[in-house]
Structure 1
């Protein structure tokens, strides 16, 4: 299933997600933001369970900000998890 999330407080404008029916991340694509970091995060979470990624990324901060692109990905996945139940 494909999902789109509008992050806040970060440089990325959109996070596009493709999640399997079993809750496995098939693909993550960040639109905007730091290209290298976004590609790295996307590659690392591919094939992982939603719950594992949320546990690893939630609460990560970027500099003085209270959030980050990894944290926003965790928040997007939390919304996906709620929608899937």
Structure 2
């Protein structure tokens, strides 16, 4: 299992912690943000591949913001996957 912490940009949540089992997303935890959404998103992406997460939620915006917690999670998954390949 590869553990990764991502500092979010432009969202109410301040960081995302996740684990990768190869390219499978596991144990996503948000710090800060809207409690309901941030409890639901990890349950929805648990067990998905990095590619599935990116395809489904990258580019989603929150209100007038250019990003969202889901979009930031997609970015975190990409970064984590790249980092796991260098570890």
TM range (shorter): over 0.9
Provide the TM-score with structure 2 as the length reference: 0.92
Identify unmatched segments of 5+ residues in structure 2: none
- What are the within-5 Å matches in structure 2 for residues 1-85 of structure 1? 1-20=2-21, 22-85=22-85
How far does residue 81 in structure 1 lie from its aligned partner after superposition? 2.0
Q: Which has the higher strand share?
A: 2
Determine helix, strand or coil for the equivalent of 2:72: helix
Provide the TM-score with structure 1 as the length reference: 0.94
